[in-house]
Amino acid sequence: MGNEENVWTVDAARELYGVQRWGLRYFDINDKGEVIVTPLKEHGGSVAILDVVREALGLGLHFPMLIRFQDLLRNRVVRLNSAFTEAVAEAEYKSRYQGVYPIKVNQLREVVEEIVEAGKPFNYGLEVGSKPELYAALAFLEDSDCLVICNGYKDDNFIRTALIGRKLGKKVFLVVEKLQEVETIIKYAAELDVEPLVGLRLRLASSGMGKWEKSGGEDAKFGLSTQEILMASRMLKAAGLGHCLKLVHFHVGSQVPDILTIKKAVREGAMFYAKLRKNGHDLEYVDVGGGLGVDYDGSRTTFHSSINYSLNEYARDIVYSIKDVCDAENVPHPVIISESGRALVAHHSVLVVQAFGHVKKIPEDSLPSEPKSPHKLVQEAWQTYKYLDEDDNNPLEAYHDALHFKEEVQTHFELGLIDLEVKAEVEKFFWLISGRVLEIYKDAEYVPDEIEEIKTRFSDRYLCNFSVFQSLLDHWGYGQLFPIMPIHRLAEEPQRRGTLADITCDSDGMISKFINLYEEWVDTLPLHDTNDEPYYLGIFLTGAYQDIMGDLHNLFGRVNEAHVFLDEDEESGYYIEETIEGTTMEKVLALVQYGENDLSRKMKAQFDRAIKEDRLKPNEAMRLLNDYQKGIKGYTYLDLSRELPLR
Ligand SMILES: Cc1ncc(COP(=O)(O)O)c(C=O)c1O
């Protein structure tokens, strides 16, 4: 890998990790071989992630550490709105775009505040799907020109609270998911004496594609059938609220990989809008829902972790499709709403994890010397290794022999015929032979499948201080891929390949699928030898869904956060505006009903008993109890600062 003389360069690292393909010019590598972030692209400076890590460590944060680039979030809001504004102008569309951010994608207050602030020039609003989200949105979105779209099933409290928003003059839309909600809206609108803004969620025939396709289509969980739409229309008209039906909404699924799916759904949704207008309703809005995807693997394909379109293409296709249908049906162009979440927030956060151990198949001190054991299997394995490089030897045959020795030794072991030394020697030669065979095939034009498989078997396991279940749930649950790469040492060629194991006690707590441009995924990631020094990996594009969906498997809690802002006046060009400490052991334990006081009391009783029974001296016992009480206030992840201090 590298340039023509086979010299490793930073460019080779760029290509190897595909950073320029998935990074949308927000991420790159500097000459020192460190990953840099340029949150505002050409309108601002760059920050090396390792510098932020150093500073955050100085502020007392530990790994795993989530770094949010708040300016990047703002940049995404501007980019999305500009893409639609340009598409509207280009198509000579006679209305406008007015988007909303679906809070569920990342509800963190600092994230929502940043989006609302950046969205002010565009009257950018919020979408909510539950009561708590509505309560937050009503308070946080003060500008009454912005829209609040209420999706999801609703009870009386949900509907009444949304109508309280209407009383305050806010544009709160209640999107009906089932007919009963129409009755409730009519009831509370009368009670509060307020005109509701009603939307209908369409159950389109067009369904999505990819991992979230079930969100759309005729069998979707949400939405009204054509018959139900007509019934809702009649109910509203009968209550004298026909003019309050203002919006149609649909959502084909998140991360839609193929633009054709979107085009088809938008045309169908626009047709519902046109027909309902002709049916006597004063509709003004078409809400195309979410679905705008993120090219996680940079392949620009219809693979589930990719998309085959750009943001501009997405905006243009929506605007043109709606215009086309409306012109043909002779109805006015509606205001276009989109509820893009993932594409807005995915890029802004990077999870930095520390690799703290490196399990190699061949231990460093496994020298291929003549074995002392006279056991036949050991001697045969040694001979195979010794003569492997001779001209008339076939490496594939040697590998088959090695496989045979390994199997034999296992059988012997299970029958109790050999001791641990013999087993260890044969296994050592198995890995040494496999390693040598791999080297022999390194530059071969054709590599048999079996040898390709050795590559995966041969890969190392990097132990990383994080939990897949807390920080990367969609990888575990859906097999969604995220770009992962070291954030430093990229001026050095990575000589090893590995999988990543987290610190949960679950064998699923692994990452063994990584992005690749030529295949759907690869099983191992190119990595450097850690040499027992700190080694940091960035897991990128984690800002959408991962933060909030993470669970407490093994009681690993939320991770530490550092929020970064660019600032030209700072020497470094940025500052850490805020740090949020991850959940402490005390807090996660409380979530599962273990009160800290109770735990302390129980421990104290045991120490008291130990003192009474003369198993511990009072001083020592109190010191140890104090350690327990102090320790429980700590972070749930491993503290490796003593073993691997950052230099
Ligand atoms: C109704 C609705 N709107 C918007 C979204 C956000 O979608 P995305 O993150 O794909 O933009 C979702 C997510 O599934 C949704 O269910």
Q: State yes or no: cis peptide before 486, omega within 30 of 0.
A: no
Taking Cα atoms as reference points, which of 224, 237, 311 lies closest to residue 269? 224
pLDDT for 2 equals 47
Q: What does 150-163 look like in DSSP terms, one character per residue?
A: E-S---HHHHHHHH
Measure 22 CA to ligand 1 centroid, in angstroms: 21
Compute CA 323 distance to the chain's CA centroid, rounded to the nearest angstrom: 34
Quick: pLDDT tens for 336-390.
Answer: 999 999 999 999 999 999 998 888 777 666 667 888 899 999 999 999 999 888 8
Q: Which atom of ligand 1 is nearest to the CA of 201?
A: 1
Averaged pLDDT, 7-17: 96
Per-residue pLDDT reduced to its tens digit, 427-480? 999 999 998 998 888 888 888 888 888 877 778 899 999 999 999 999 999 899
DSSP 91-105: TT-SS-B--EEEGGG
What's phi and psi for 558, nearest 5 deg?
Answer: -60, 150
Per-residue pLDDT tens digits for 502-557:
999 988 999 999 999 888 999 999 999 988 889 999 999 999 999 888 889 999 99
Confidence category of residue 301, pLDDT binned at 50, 70, 90: very high
Q: Give the integer Cα–Cα distance in Å for 47 and 67.
A: 12
Report which secondary-structure segment, H or E, holds 525. Answer: strand 525-527
Phi–psi pair at 303, nearest 5 degrees: -65, 150
Tokens 């890590």 label which residue?
53
pLDDT score recorded for residue 5: 58
Residues 105-161: tens digit of each pLDDT:
999 999 999 999 999 999 999 999 999 999 999 999 999 999 999 999 999 999 999
Give the number of the atom of ligand 1 that is nearest the alpha carbon of residue 253: 14
User: Which candidate, 217, 103, 184, places its Cα nearest to that of 151?
Assistant: 103
Q: Are 69 and 348 in contact (CB under 8 A)?
A: yes
Q: Which of 126, 215, 254 has most ligand 1 atoms within 8 Å of CB, for mutation?
A: 254
Ligand 1, CB within 6 Å, residue ranges? 102, 105, 127, 151, 215, 251, 254-255, 289-292, 339-342
Residue 200 scores a pLDDT above 50: yes
C-alpha span between 332 and 320 (Å, rounded): 14
pLDDT at position 541:
98
Q: Any alpha helices (H) in 64-123, and if so which ranges? A: 70-90, 109-118
Atom 13 of ligand 1 has which residue's CA nearest to it?
254
Percentage of the chain lying above the pLDDT 70 cut: 95
Q: Is residue 208 scored above 70 in pLDDT?
A: no
Let me know: does 39 contact 69? Beta carbons within 8 Å: yes
Ligand 1 centre to CA of 355 (Å) is: 34
Q: What is the pLDDT of residue 547?
A: 84
- Assess whether pLDDT exceeds 70 at residue 211: no
pLDDT at 290: 97
Can you tell me the distance from the alpha carbon of 134 to that of 174, in angstroms, rounded to the nearest whole number? 11
- Ligand 1: centre distance to CA 291 (Å): 6
Atom of ligand 1 nearest to the CA of 545: 9
Nearest to 544, CA basis, from 323, 324, 348, 313: 348
Coil, strand or helix at 563: strand
Report the atom number in ligand 1 closest to the C-alpha of 291.
10
What's the rounded mean pLDDT across residues 86-102? 98
Closest C-alpha to ligand 1, atom 15:
290
Q: How far is the CA of 525 from the centre of ligand 1 (A)?
A: 31
User: ∠ at Cα 399 (394, 401), nearest 5°?
Assistant: 95
Q: Ligand 1 center to residue 88 CA distance, Å?
A: 22
- Residue 12's contacts (CB-CB under 8 Å, 6 or more residues apart) are 1, 2, 3, 493
Nearest-atom index, ligand 1, CA of 151:
1
> Residue 478 in contact with residue 305, Cβ under 8 Å?
no
Taking CA atoms, 496 is separated from 361, 461, 533, in Å, by: 11, 10, 15
Ligand 1 geometric centre to CA of 315 (Å): 16
As a whole number, the mean pLDDT across the chain is 93
Predicted confidence at residue 311, as pLDDT, reads 98
Determine the residue of 100, 103, 105 to mutate for testing ligand 1's pocket, defined as the one with the most ligand atoms within 8 A of the Cβ atom.
105
Residue 45 pLDDT: 96
Residue 214 CA to ligand 1 centre (angstroms)? 12
How far away, in angstroms, is 213 Cα from ligand 1 center?
12
Closest approach atom of ligand 1 to CA 222: 1
CB atoms within 10 A of CB 206: 20
Mutate to test the pocket of ligand 1, among 106, 339, 348, 478 (most ligand atoms within 8 A of CB): 339
What is the pTM for the complete model shown?
Answer: 0.92
